[in-house]
Structure 1
Amino acid sequence: MEKLKILFAVVFSVATASAASLGVVQTEGGGVQGLNIPLGLLRSVDVFKGIPFAAKPGTFEKPQPHPGWDGIRKATKFASRCLQISMLQTSSFGSEDCLYLNIWVPHGRHVSSGLPVMIWLYGGGFLVGGSMGPNFLNNYLYSGQEIADKGKVVVVSVGYRVGTLGFLSTGDSLLPGNYGLWDQHAAIAWVHRNIRSFGGDPDNITIFGESAGGASVSFQTLSPHNKGLIKRAISQSGVASCPWALNRNPRKAAEEVAENVGCPADDRMVACLKSTDARNLTMAVPRVAQGSPDYPGVTNLLLSPVVDGDFLPDRPANLFHNAAEVDYLAGVNDMDGHIFTLQDIPSLGDKNQETPVEDVKRLLTAYTKEMGPAASEIAFAEYSSNWGSTPSQDSIKRAAVDIGTDYIFLVPVQTDIYLHAANARSGRTYSYRLSEPSLMAGPGKPYHDWVGADHMDDLQYVFGKPFTTPKAYGDRHRDLSGFVIAYWTNFARTGNPNKGNLKVPVTWPAFTSTEAQFLDINAKMNESSTGRDMRLRFVRLWTSTLPSLPSYGAADAQ
């Protein structure tokens, strides 16, 4: 037995010694050295943490090039995440010096070269978020290791400014905003210039992100500043058309921040804000109030990108020609709106409490208030059309979740998928819906047993958590994670999720303006997992029927 152990040890040490490593890598700023993590027989991943892609940014200024460093920089520790408010909005943490990125490079027997590159943009409502180390309960959700190793791609995660420092704007040239988007762009440009030294192909960059990160991906493809830098893009549960993704009245939030830090709201405001301590500015963010059916939480997100005439020269819907050559894959979770609607109508989540029909009507009234007085009645008639005369609590609660999912995520994502396909030249388009039931749903668990894929449920599968923390998951979740990593990395490699290094369970049909096909992703996929015209009736309701009602135009123009 002892001899066997020694033999295994010798074999393992030979294998890991034979697995390649980059060693010191030369970047435009200087040399960096990461860590090499052996993963078994002739497989390893080089990890570089905390490489600066820009200098410490000035308050409300675009990012500037990093001055570089002497000697070899140890890239073995995550940098701080960008300065932001805590989830409870009672304190702040992080640093102004936060424009860093992390890189995962997989190797076999030989050092990798020419690999596809995937750049991750995190979510967090443009208010919070980070990819620098543990996200929640000491769990590092955004480790690129599994994607890199399984898909044979280089994975990069980046920091970008959020909250007041990232997205405050006066709506004019004095304080144009979009600083967080400029940070993302600077990171993409840095990767394009430097990734070849890490074994990546600078001409095959895919950006991917979720929620506000998915919307960021969308904005990056629409901006003329990224021409030639991005080959492909993946938006998960968030696009430029989402109602929370673009701020149409930024001045309001700027004046509220100014008032909170004691700055005047006149022509001295911008100079005063720029000279205010960054932590005070961060804490002065307009409070995100607890939602209610009359004031849904998602309508409280007052710091987000703006049409600034520069990064976004026009409204997003008019910029899709800039993404005409970009392959685009986008989709939603089938109950993306669940956690948000739960905040607005707390009775939804209580298995022993009834949700009044009136609450569903109030939620619809809040979402349709700019569309004229008849809008909520027309919408309610659609969502309650299959209820019968005495609707069950499940019917009422599910309708509320459907309304939240459609309004906040699904309809805008479908809108942008249609726009991409209509404007595409060489770029291909793919649409999906993730329908794997929530791990929190079922008997003895907090969620109703009908709850499907909630917001953020996709992240664990994309980043391979069922493989890295196997005890928390079953075999079906490992199957699903394998499917998602295969589709995502095949797409990054070839622009077609079906073609690449990894086998997929079902052929994913492309989305075109005439054939609006999508893939339904879950652990039990088969040939019937494809569909067309995702929730078309409700997409038409929100994009055509309601906006064409009288008085909508007047309210929208204000």
Structure 2
Amino acid sequence: MMVKLGILVAIAVFLEMVSATSLGVVSTEGGMVQGKNIRLGSRGSRRHMDVFKGIPFADIPGRFEKPKRHPGWDGILKATRYRKRCIQLNFMTLMTTTRGSEDCLYLNIWVPQGCSVSTGLPTMVWIYGGGFLAGSSTGVGFLDNYLYSGQEIADRGNVIVVTLGYRVGTMGFLSTGESDLPGNYGLWDQHAAIAWVNRNIRSFGGDPDNITIFGESAGGASVSFQTLTPHNKGLFKRAISQSGDATCSWAINRNPRRFAEEVALKVDCPINQTMASCLKNTDPVKLTLAGSINITSSPDNPNVFNLVLSPVIDGDFVPDEPCNLFHNAAEIDFLAGINDMDGHLFTSFDIPSINRPRVDTPIEDMKRLLASYTKKDQAAADLAYDTYTANWDPNPSQETIKKTIVEIGTDYIFLVPTQAALYLHAANATTGRTYSYLFSEPNRLAGTLYPSWMGADHADDLQYVFGKPFTRPLAYWPRYRDLSGYMIAYWTNFARTGDPNKGESSVPATWPKFTSDGQQFLEINSKMDNNSVGQKMRKPYVDFWTKVLHNLTMTISE
């Protein structure tokens, strides 16, 4: 009996080995690479995935320089471990230490395999967020379960997923505003990775003519910048910006010299014509620590104003105001949206009482926040107050006041700029299609750590896009798996065809295109149906802010 059992086990192992499809050793421009082939038991024993971790897409970058191509390597590179993140402030120690390395320009690739080795697959390239200050290609992780693992998207959407590293903080975005320290090094890193994918992805079974870039927060803004720069012509076909785009107030640093001088003083560099050369020769840890930001905030100094290490208009990668560059995205399919309470993360720092059920939030705090957002223009602040209180009862409840503050932060920081970007894309598009969404699944901590009225906070969408309800089923209710399935279907259909409704995955509701006149959007949550389509998202507030914010020079049409 034991002999027969042994024979059966041997046969099963043999059949598994011969049925496993794998790329094996892959030839890239830098040399040969070999990843790891894993079995995907949850969706059939004949499905596998090749996972490549830590492939260099550029050489170790020079200090405050554009990335250069990697010189290559001899033999076979074992691409089986994640590499260090780019050097950055450690927020876990309140920015008193750093983590990461300057040797950080690596990417990771997930390739789904069926009964035969995959060819011609759409490819999705992920750009992480983190305020241009922090982040990594893997995201947070526990026991090898990383937030930005591309496994679920790749498997369920039958696409290749790539995640990349790029320089952040001082090392990625410090600028004097002049040619001696032009800035935008992190954006150039992203560009180098996208270009590498375009040149090499065919060897991994991908279609270089069908690449989609996607990202969230600063990653969403980065995606937007990548569509607007003239340097990416023909490198990718589609783009998804989640909770961030290049028209956001925090996405452009309009006075980079001031912060560069602050950094220089902290590291004992002179504030003169030799400042840039001194900074280039300063220890990277000291430079990174010198880029720490003020984390204290109030309604008079909102937290979002402290994001001062961000892209600049350099005359090169970003040659003009973002709103003037949308002609460069005319042939790119663009999908963008926000979470319905994206601003909560920021306004809860500015006005902590909004999270405290037993502590009242004075209306005066809301007025102070509006004054800050309107640049202390009293007439604009008064008009803003009238706009946001137009539907209030004479004696508004604390819930009304607190929710309105979150709405103000969400509108100013995310919603209005995203609507502007969508409008500009649709107005400039030739062949490119435009899609808008609002993610509204309530935060899973609503009613416990957060108020019961809490909607979708900033970054709440990430767990669903990356399929965490499937990888950690005991931590999620079935409806969350439904939602995750919906988002992966829409995102990967869009990557495959340019239309989120059409592809290999069925969807719960038809998503109409965003047009300059109709301005349609899809509301995404676990209860979606054909009533989930809306028009002219928060139009009175969009109209108000586009008249007040000087960097949004267009007006949403009637």
Which of 402, 405, 430 is the aligned partner of 1:400?
Answer: 405
1:6 Cα deviation from its structure 2 partner: 9.2
- Corresponding residue of 2:494: 491
Matching of residues 150-189 of structure 1 within 5 Å: 150-189=156-195
Q: Any idea what the Cα deviations from partners look like across 1:149-187, whole Å, max 9, x if unmatched?
A: 000000000000000000000011111000000000000
- In the alignment, the residues of structure 1 paired with residue 412 and residue 394 of structure 2 have an alpha-carbon distance, to the nearest angstrom, of 26
TM-score (norm 1): 0.95
- Corresponding residue of 2:241: 235
- In the alignment, the residues of structure 2 paired with residue 543 and residue 429 of structure 1 have an alpha-carbon distance, to the nearest angstrom, of 20
Contact 2:138/2:147, CA 8 A, preserved across alignment: no
Which of 44, 66, 80 is the aligned partner of 2:84?
Answer: 80
- Corresponding residue of 1:118: 124
1:248 Cα deviation from its structure 2 partner: 0.6
Contact 2:243/2:414, CA 8 A, preserved across alignment: yes
- Corresponding residue of 1:424: 429
Residue 46 (str. 1) matches residue 50 (str. 2): yes
- In the alignment, the residues of structure 1 paired with residue 139 and residue 514 of structure 2 have an alpha-carbon distance, to the nearest angstrom, of 36
1:450 Cα deviation from its structure 2 partner: 1.1
Matching of residues 79-478 of structure 1 within 5 Å: 79-87=83-91, 88-132=94-138, 134-135=140-141, 139-369=145-375, 372-442=377-447, 445-478=448-481
The amino acid of 1:39's aligned partner reads L
- After the TM superposition, which parts of structure 1 deviate over 6 Å for at least 4 consecutive aligned residues? 1-9
Seen in structure 2, the aligned counterparts of structure 1 residues 139 and 260 have a Cα distance that, compared at 3 Å, is farther
- In the alignment, the residues of structure 2 paired with residue 226 and residue 25 of structure 1 have an alpha-carbon distance, to the nearest angstrom, of 26
1:333 Cα deviation from its structure 2 partner: 0.3
1:16 Cα deviation from its structure 2 partner: 5.8
Matching of residues 56-67 of structure 1 within 5 Å: 56-67=60-71
The amino acid of 2:34's aligned partner reads Q
- 1:441 partner SS: coil
The amino acid of 2:149's aligned partner reads S
- In the alignment, the residues of structure 2 paired with residue 219 and residue 14 of structure 1 have an alpha-carbon distance, to the nearest angstrom, of 48
Seen in structure 2, the aligned counterparts of structure 1 residues 476 and 185 have a Cα distance that, compared at 3 Å, is same
The amino acid of 1:409's aligned partner reads F
1:5 Cα deviation from its structure 2 partner: 12
- In the alignment, the residues of structure 2 paired with residue 378 and residue 5 of structure 1 have an alpha-carbon distance, to the nearest angstrom, of 80
TM-score (norm 2): 0.95
Seen in structure 2, the aligned counterparts of structure 1 residues 9 and 345 have a Cα distance that, compared at 3 Å, is farther
1:385 Cα deviation from its structure 2 partner: 1.5
Contact 1:294/1:362, CA 8 A, preserved across alignment: yes
Q: CA RMSD in A?
A: 1.9
- In the alignment, the residues of structure 2 paired with residue 70 and residue 19 of structure 1 have an alpha-carbon distance, to the nearest angstrom, of 28
1:137 Cα deviation from its structure 2 partner: 8.8
The amino acid of 2:430's aligned partner reads R
Seen in structure 2, the aligned counterparts of structure 1 residues 448 and 366 have a Cα distance that, compared at 3 Å, is same
The amino acid of 1:422's aligned partner reads A
The amino acid of 1:486's aligned partner reads A
The amino acid of 1:28's aligned partner reads E
- In the alignment, the residues of structure 2 paired with residue 7 and residue 380 of structure 1 have an alpha-carbon distance, to the nearest angstrom, of 75
Query: Mean Cα displacement is larger for which, 208-217 or 355-364?
Result: 355-364
- 2:46 partner SS: coil
Q: Percent identity?
A: 66
1:132 Cα deviation from its structure 2 partner: 3.7
Seen in structure 2, the aligned counterparts of structure 1 residues 6 and 434 have a Cα distance that, compared at 3 Å, is farther
Q: Any idea what the Cα deviations from partners look like across 1:81-121, whole Å, max 9, x if unmatched?
A: 00000111110010000000000000001000000000000
Which of 492, 506, 513 is the aligned partner of 2:509?
Answer: 506
- 2:531 partner SS: helix
- In the alignment, the residues of structure 1 paired with residue 6 and residue 290 of structure 2 have an alpha-carbon distance, to the nearest angstrom, of 60
Query: Mean Cα displacement is larger for which, 423-432 or 16-25?
Result: 16-25
- Corresponding residue of 1:528: 531
The amino acid of 1:84's aligned partner reads Q
Contact 2:95/2:292, CA 8 A, preserved across alignment: no
The amino acid of 1:453's aligned partner reads A
- 1:321 partner SS: helix
1:136 Cα deviation from its structure 2 partner: 6.9
- 1:504 partner SS: coil
Contact 1:78/1:133, CA 8 A, preserved across alignment: no
Unaligned runs of 5+ residues in structure 2 are 554-558
- 2:54 partner SS: strand
1:288 Cα deviation from its structure 2 partner: 2.6
The amino acid of 1:257's aligned partner reads V
- In the alignment, the residues of structure 2 paired with residue 296 and residue 498 of structure 1 have an alpha-carbon distance, to the nearest angstrom, of 39
The amino acid of 1:193's aligned partner reads R
Contact 1:80/1:132, CA 8 A, preserved across alignment: no
- In the alignment, the residues of structure 2 paired with residue 5 and residue 337 of structure 1 have an alpha-carbon distance, to the nearest angstrom, of 60
Unaligned runs of 5+ residues in structure 1 are 554-558
Contact 2:138/2:149, CA 8 A, preserved across alignment: no
- Corresponding residue of 1:556: none
Contact 2:89/2:292, CA 8 A, preserved across alignment: no
- Corresponding residue of 1:25: 26
The amino acid of 2:529's aligned partner reads N
1:351 Cα deviation from its structure 2 partner: 1.4
- Corresponding residue of 2:556: none
The amino acid of 1:156's aligned partner reads V
Report how many aligned residue pairs link the two structures. 546
1:19 Cα deviation from its structure 2 partner: 2.6
- 2:250 partner SS: coil
Seen in structure 2, the aligned counterparts of structure 1 residues 389 and 136 have a Cα distance that, compared at 3 Å, is farther
- In the alignment, the residues of structure 2 paired with residue 446 and residue 526 of structure 1 have an alpha-carbon distance, to the nearest angstrom, of 30
Q: Any idea what the Cα deviations from partners look like across 1:291-338, whole Å, max 9, x if unmatched?
A: 111101100111000000000111100000000000000000000001
- Corresponding residue of 1:55: 59
